[in-house]
Copies of this chain bind each other. A is one copy, B any other.
Amino acid sequence: MKPKIKLDKIDRRILEILQANAKITNAQLANEIGLSPAPTLERVKKLEVSGIIKSYHAMLDNEKVGLGVSTFVMVSLKGHNKVNIEAFTQAINEIDEVIECHHITGSGDFILKIIAQDIAAYQKLMLEKVTNIEVVDNMQSLVILSTFKDSKVMPIP
């Protein structure tokens, strides 16, 4: 039962704009896409209700809020079984500093993205919370030195 959502060119344009700038007013948005405010708003609401637009978020400057260290961590579990995976994801969910957790193909099982104040805080976090999750076999940290691209706009086909 897929509702078969079809997006026309205008919808895609709306999505593009709102991904880049969610704070645009409806009037401005209407102007950019060449419609009047009423149908523009209708379209946006439709996109929200259908779940195509999931949510809206403020993005912060990590440095300025005192979060200077970001890392990716490759994690291998002791076994690939369902029980271990559930134990791991549950443990991960309780750690605020882990902002992403993806199950991936390849030699590692999971990749995490972790945010911390500095290297010291990162080390402490890893030692105290992450490393000693029971089902973890081994881990490899990749510290981000600099970020060249971090786009919030998906390439809508």
Interface residues of A (CB under 8 A from B): 5, 7, 15, 18-23, 50-62, 64-67, 70, 72, 89, 92-93, 96-106, 108, 111, 115, 117, 121, 140-157
Contact = CB atoms under 8 A, between A and B. Distances in A.
B54 A101 contact: no
A151 to B, nearest CB: 4
Contacts of A51: 61, 64
A102 B148 CA distance: 6
A59 B56 contact: yes
A60 B19 contact: yes
A122 to B, nearest CB: 12
A7 B22 CA distance: 24
B56 A154 contact: no
Contacts of A121: 157
A94 B54 CA distance: 27
Contacts of A145: 102-105
Given A72-B104, A93-B149, A101-B148, A62 B154 contact: yes
B52 A144 contact: no
Nearest to A50: B64
Given A22-B56, A142-B106, A150-B100, A157 B67 contact: yes
Given A19-B57, A100-B150, A111-B142, 19 more contacts: A5-B64, A19-B58, A50-B64, A51-B61, A52-B60, A52-B64, A52-B65, A56-B57, A59-B152, A60-B156, A65-B154, A66-B157, A67-B156, A67-B157, A92-B149, A97-B155, A99-B153, A104-B145, A106-B143
